[in-house]
Amino acid sequence: MNDWVDKNALINDSIRYLKIVDFNSALEQIIGITADYQLKPTRFNELLHISDALYQTCVTAIVEAGDYQFEHQFTNENGVKKILEITLSIIKNENLYYGFFAVIRDLTIQKIYEAELEFFANNDPLTGLRNRRYYFSFLDKVFENVTQLGYICMFDLDHFKNINDTYGHDMGDEVLRKISEVAKSHFIPYAEICRYGGEEFLIYLSLSDTDLVIQLLDSFRQRISEIEFIPEGQSPFGITVSIGIASCKNASQLNLVISKADKALYQSKNNGRNRVTVYEG
């Protein structure tokens, strides 16, 4: 057989037993074996760690339709995780079945690349939080459900500009990453969090109890105030957050709820910062 770069072939002598007759060197690379590895007595499904249920699906499909394609994840002999596209085609002459032919493509790098593209399309690269593009799409779906209760909360890092001016933007980035890390751990599984822009963040809380929402956000505010940042060669410093809350109940427009959360946030700032305010109006 030809040693294809991205396609690999096995011929099996029986639909029932799937014993391998031959293979090429490209398959050796994918599986993580050498040319002298005693592979031929091995069954196809054992080689690629295919479950009994999936194996039965494969056999049924190729007998009925003549071919079957699926993606499969497995860990090879070197401990490397792989994502494969496997295409099975039956070999027969009229009604006589001889076995089947498998073409295997290693999709691992392609899938990693696609996952990275998806991540950067939907997430803020600095903090890993959702970006505005994803977030507004998510909130639009939330608002399609007229019975959906919940809260939109906006928080802002107090005097963040002073941190950038005093300690530099690298330290400012470290602060943003740390605050985001704490937010993710604090609000899961209640929330979807977004870096709204700069040092402003949006949180959608799928909760209906106002007192619980206030308690959850106030404990977050307290956690942030207890963090100590230590810049190299300088004295430690801390930071606080101001938070505004607006209810989604009976709201017909997303922008109005965000505007209410923003007004509550600035009320927190005007009242001395480092506090939680619920929009009332």
What is the CATH number assigned to the segment(s) 9-111? 3.30.450.20
pLDDT at 30 over 80: yes
What is the pTM for the complete model shown? 0.72
pLDDT of the residue at 186? 96
Q: Give residue limits of the domains in the chain.
A: 9-111, 126-278
pLDDT of the residue at 213? 96
What is the chain's mean pLDDT, rounded? 87
- Look-up: residue for tokens 């300690």? 167
Highest mean pLDDT among 27-31, 85-89, 210-214: 210-214
pLDDT at 38 over 70: no
Q: Is 199 a catalytic site residue?
A: yes
pLDDT at 16 over 60: no
Mean pLDDT within 198-224: 96
The CATH class given to the 126-278 domain equals alpha beta
Q: What would the pLDDT profile of 161-210 be if each residue is shown by its tens digit?
A: 999 999 999 999 999 999 999 999 999 888 899 999 999 999 999 998 99
CA dist., res. 45 & res. 61, Å (int):
15
Higher pLDDT, 32 or 232: 232
Is cis: bond before 189, omega within 30 of 0?
Answer: yes
pLDDT of the residue at 276? 98
CA dist., res. 274 & res. 221, Å (int):
7
pLDDT at 247 over 90: yes
Q: What would the pLDDT profile of 109-159 be if each residue is shown by its tens digit?
A: 999 999 999 999 999 999 999 999 999 999 988 888 766 679 999 999 999
Catalytic residue among 71, 85, 174, 199: 199
